[in-house]
């Protein structure tokens, strides 16, 4: 991933403000705040060069600014191209840079000890990620927008090399809508699933690390929630349901990478065929499937157009 160059920053015209107002959703309460904050408005590039991707390179995305201490590098590696930061971290890690927990106006008391300590800690924490992008969802809620703009302004004033990405609200809503329709019924998808969605759109191959949702591995060894702590996931996420969807993606991906076309026999989950003829569970018996499996959901895989389901009579010459 290469950094865009020659980004032009200037004051927005009235017509450009109208465009921002059109695409910044009212329901997220960030529109009025964003347009009223001239420092925030003027800091947004009006000519978006986009990202330039080198298809031979392996880009590394890290979620929620995780620590990269020496003791972890053997397992997590050193490369970082993009990191995500929840706007809430601006409060509980950096005390909103000296502002109150629920502040009304974005302001810096630059001479205060609280601001200086928070700024130093913020820049020090980001330094381990090198020359990477900082991805933060600014338009979730009004307070999220304020906190995200605080972090952005600190980086601008510090002449830091990090470039901040505020994802478009329409994109976030589309991701949430897609996964909800796929079975992840939760107030919000996790950052991990959101970034997986991003990666699948811009990368030819995606590898996931740390998405195991259980507290023990296959050898029954105890695991913590993250590699660096044991903080439980938010109630806003359904991690177990997300894991099922990631397994489904893996199954579909594995099938398409190994074979150009896959035909399945005996995967019909209903007890009658299309002619309403009664069927047994298997061709040799009528044993009911175990509760450990969700056969109807497995059957849905062929609807993606990846696995072609054969429902006609099995021809010996085809096997």
Rounded CA separation 140/27 (Å): 9
Percent of the chain with pLDDT over 70: 69
Phi/psi-derived region of residue 66, left when phi > 0, alpha when psi is between -120 and 50, beta in every other case: beta
- For residue 66, name the pLDDT band (cuts at 50, 70, 90): very high
Q: Read out DSSP for the chain?
A: -B--------PPPHHHHHHHHHHS-GGGT-HHHHHH-HHHHHHS-SS----B--TTS---EESS-----GGGHHHH-S--SEEE--THHHHHTTGGGGS-TT-SS----TTSHHHHHHHHHHHHHHHTT-S-EEE--TTSSHHHHHHHHHHHHHHHHTT-S-EEE---HHHHHHHHHHHHHHT--SSS--HHHHHHHHHHHH-SS----S---SSB-TT--B--SSSS--PPPPTT--HHHHHHHHHHHHHHHHHHHH-S-EEESS---SSB-TT--B--SSSS--PPPPTT--HHHHHGGGGGTSEEE--SPPPGGG-
Q: Compute the average pLDDT of residues 212-231.
A: 86
pLDDT tens, position by position, 2-54: 444 444 445 566 776 666 555 554 444 555 555 555 555 455 444 443 444 44
> Would the pLDDT of 127 be above 60?
yes
CB 302 within 8 A of CB 309: yes
Q: Compute the average pLDDT of residues 174-202.
A: 89
More confident residue, 11 or 231: 231
pLDDT at 193: 93
More confident residue, 314 or 15: 15
Q: Give the CA angle between residues 92, 163, 226 to the nearest 5°.
A: 45
Q: Nearest CA to 213 among 186, 240, 188, 185?
A: 240
Rounded CA separation 179/181 (Å): 5
Q: Which of 152, 168, 207, 237 is catalytic?
A: 237
- For residue 122, name the pLDDT band (cuts at 50, 70, 90): very high
CB 44 within 8 A of CB 24: no
> Would the pLDDT of 196 be above 50?
yes
Is residue 237 annotated as a catalytic residue, yes or no? yes
> Would the pLDDT of 91 be above 60?
yes
How far apart, in Å, do the first and last CA atoms of the chain sit? Answer: 46
> Would the pLDDT of 123 be above 90?
yes
pLDDT tens, position by position, 129-140: 988 999 998 887
pLDDT tens, position by position, 294-311: 777 777 655 555 455 455
- For residue 205, name the pLDDT band (cuts at 50, 70, 90): confident
Within a 10 A sphere around the Cβ of 41, how many other Cβ atoms?
A: 17
Phi/psi-derived region of residue 305, left when phi > 0, alpha when psi is between -120 and 50, beta in every other case: left
Q: Compute the average pLDDT of residues 268-289.
A: 81
Separation of CA 17 from chain center:
28
Q: What is the pTM of this model?
A: 0.65
Listing from the earlier edge strand, what are the strands of the sheet with 82-84?
Answer: 61-62, 82-84, 133-135, 163-165
Structure tokens belonging to residue 214: 């259980």
Mean pLDDT of the chain: 76
pLDDT at 45: 46
More confident residue, 172 or 22: 172
> Would the pLDDT of 62 be above 90?
yes
């Amino acid at each position: 991933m290469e950094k865009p160059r020659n980004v032009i920053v200037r004051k927005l015209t009235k017509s450009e403000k109208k465009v921002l107002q059109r695409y910044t959703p009212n329901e997220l309460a960030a529109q009025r705040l964003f347009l009223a904050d001239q420092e925030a408005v003027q800091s947004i590039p009006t000519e978006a060069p986009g990202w330039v991707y080198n298809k031979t390179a392996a880009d590394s995305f890290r979620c929620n600014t995780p620590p990269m201490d020496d003791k972890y590098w053997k397992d997590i590696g050193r490369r970082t191209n993009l990191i995500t930061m929840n706007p809430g971290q601006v409060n509980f890690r950096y005390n909103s840079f000296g502002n109150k927990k629920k502040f009304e106006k974005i302001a810096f008391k630059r001479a205060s000890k609280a601001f200086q300590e928070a700024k130093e800690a913020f820049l020090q924490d980001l330094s381990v990620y090198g020359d990477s992008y900082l991805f933060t969802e600014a338009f979730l809620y009004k307070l999220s927008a304020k906190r995200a703009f605080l972090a952005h302004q600190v980086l601008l004033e510090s002449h830091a090399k990090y470039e901040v990405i505020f994802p478009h609200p329409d994109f976030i809503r589309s991701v949430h809508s897609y996964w909800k329709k796929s079975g992840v019924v939760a107030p919000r998808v996790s950052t991990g699933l959101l970034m997986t969605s991003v990666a699948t759109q811009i990368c030819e191959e995606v590898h996931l690390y740390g998405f195991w949702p259980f507290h023990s591995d296959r050898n029954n060894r105890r695991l913590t929630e993250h590699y660096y702590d044991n903080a439980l996931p938010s109630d806003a996420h359904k991690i177990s349901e997300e894991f099922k969807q990631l397994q489904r993606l893996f199954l579909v991906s594995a099938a398409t990478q190994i074979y150009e076309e896959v035909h399945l026999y005996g995967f019909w989950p209903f007890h009658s065929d299309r002619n309403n003829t009664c069927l047994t569970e298997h061709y040799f018996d009528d044993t009911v499937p175990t509760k450990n499996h969700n056969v109807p959901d497995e059957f849905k895989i062929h609807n993606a157009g990846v696995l072609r389901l054969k429902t006609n009579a099995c021809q010996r010459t085809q096997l």
